[in-house]
Structure 1
Amino acid sequence: MGEFISSKNVFVDQDEDSRIDVLKAISKRAEQLGITDDAEAVFQAFLWRENQCETGMEDGFAVPHAKSAAIKYASVIVFKTKKALEWPSFDGKPVDISIALLVPEAEAGTTHLKLLSKTAILLMEPDFREFVRNSNDAVAIAKRVDEGVSSIEDDEDED
């Protein structure tokens, strides 16, 4: 399956004004990175999921996720904003770090669930949260995230 994130997928010090702006920006970046050819379809997939239940976790982190036939391969994008934004979250606090999951519709019940599970586990680790919050090093952030979710491949080998 390969890596889910590279340093090109990490965006720091972004200047967005709302959760919707963040989702649009992530969708556009996904198109620029070749993850999709249709940023609007990805944006609509993010919106659909946002309307189901909050994707804001705790401590300023969110895990927006999109499942769409317009997504070519599973990928992760980390998007850090300069300021915390209103975002429905488990702890009611605003969000400034989004770890976006982008998954082809055909992998909705497999890769998507495993990526979501692994990301949730990472976010329970104080060291991981602190590292991502305090670092603006795209290479280091990508490496840390990819190490955390790369065990998905091991899980699939067991199936």
Structure 2
Amino acid sequence: MTTTGIGKNIAIPHGQSKSVISSTMLFARNDQKLEWNSLDGSKVDIIFLMAIPPDDQGDEHLRMLAKLSGKLMDDAFVDSIKKASSSEQILKILRQQ
């Protein structure tokens, strides 16, 4: 196992649970940066939590992770999420991308 802190103050923790019905992603932005043992040593304030059912045979979580990872390589996307001032703005940004 390795850290889920990918750098740029972002973490993508993920795990499987019988309590999860379908692969789901939750977005959170924290007011304070959290120690996360990130790959670049940065603290984390942007979190994309992936909850995955144990029977994810279609590998939906891998598709979700690949799509998110591609977006997170775009500095403009990351910057827009960090600068958004409301949950509505963040949701709009996520849906546009």
Q: Confirm whether residue 68 of structure 1 aligns to residue 17 of structure 2.
A: yes
1:109 shift after superposition:
5.7
CA shift for structure 1 position 146:
3.8
Partner of 1:119: 68
Match of 1:87 among 36, 39, 50: 36
From 51, 54, 65, give the equivalent of 1:102. 51
Q: Which residue of 2 aligns with 1:57?
A: 6
Q: Deviations over 1:46-78 (max 9, x none)?
A: xxxxxx210001110111112222101222111
How many angstroms does 1:85 deviate by? 0.9
Kindly report the root-mean-square deviation, in angstroms, between the aligned alpha carbons of the 2 structures: 1.6
- Per the TM alignment, residue 108 of structure 1 is displaced from its structure 2 partner at its CA by 5.9
Partner Cα separation in structure 2 for residue 85 and residue 108 of structure 1: 33
Please give the alpha-carbon distance, in whole angstroms, between the structure 1 residues aligned to 2:41 and 2:76. 22
**4+ long deviations beyond 3 Å:** none
| Contact residue 67 and residue 108 of structure 1 kept, 8 A | no
* Cα-to-partner distance string for 1:26-55 (whole Å, 9 max, x where unaligned): xxxxxxxxxxxxxxxxxxxxxxxxxx2100
Give the count of matched residue pairs: 97
TM-score norm. by structure 2 comes to: 0.89
Q: Which has the larger radius of gyration?
A: 1
Q: Structure 1 residues 103 and 147, CA, compared in 2 at 3 Å: closer, same or farther?
A: farther
**Partner Cα separation in structure 1 for residue 48 and residue 25 of structure 2:** 7
State the AA in 1 paired with 2:19: A
